[in-house]
């Protein structure tokens, strides 16, 4: 891996983290509305708080580059569910395109890890699920 390629995940981590945090803050402002929406989609309304916290905490983990792969796995599951259950019937444009982008970026972060700069890589000198050396 070249020196510059280690920085590839950095902009993805930052923007995806910001998007997840922004969405979670909107949900936190109207948690009962979020629960009502989930209920209308035949999804247990009790999932409103865990989903919101996953987006919030996962977003911060991505931005700071800590527990990146674990956060990515959880966000992949979340985005796959929202894409298939909630947004797929609305079509691509105006429907699931943003969820699909977030899903693919999360998959990319799962595969690459946090890159540099990140707390996990630079300060802790380790990664969760480190790369296999040849």
* Chain segment 34-52, per-residue pLDDT in tens: 999 999 988 999 999 999 9
Range in 40-49, 61-70, 82-91, 116-125 with the lowest mean pLDDT: 116-125
Tell me whether residue 1 is exposed, middle or buried, using C-beta atoms within 10 angstroms of its C-beta: 0 to 12, 13 to 18, 19 or more: exposed
What does the pLDDT read at residue 119? 87
In this structure, are residues 101 and 56 in contact, taking their beta carbons and an 8 Å threshold? no
Question: Length of the chain in residues, anyone?
Answer: 134
Range in 27-31, 68-72, 74-78, 130-134 with the lowest mean pLDDT: 130-134
Q: At what angle do helices 9-29 and 48-64 cross, to 10 degrees?
A: 150
Tell me whether residue 40 is exposed, middle or buried, using C-beta atoms within 10 angstroms of its C-beta: 0 to 12, 13 to 18, 19 or more: exposed
Residue 7 scores a pLDDT above 70: yes
The domain ranges of the chain are 4-123
Distance between CA atoms of residues 65 and 85, nearest Å: 29
Residue 88 scores a pLDDT above 80: yes
What does the pLDDT read at residue 2? 59
């Amino acid at each position: 891996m070249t020196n510059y390629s280690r920085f590839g995940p950095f902009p993805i981590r930052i923007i995806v983290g910001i998007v997840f945090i922004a969405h979670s803050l909107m949900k936190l402002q109207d948690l009962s509305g979020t629960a009502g929406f989930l209920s209308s989609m035949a999804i247990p309304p009790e999932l409103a708080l865990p989903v919101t916290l996953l987006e919030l905490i996962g977003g911060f983990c991505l931005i700071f580059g800590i527990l990146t792969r674990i956060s990515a796995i959880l966000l992949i599951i979340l985005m796959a569910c929202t894409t298939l259950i909630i947004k797929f019937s609305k079509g691509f444009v105006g429907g699931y395109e943003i969820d699909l982008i977030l899903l693919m970026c999360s998959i990319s972060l799962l595969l690459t890890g946090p890159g540099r700069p990140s707390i996990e890589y630079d300060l802790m000198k380790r990664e969760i699920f480190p790369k296999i050396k040849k």
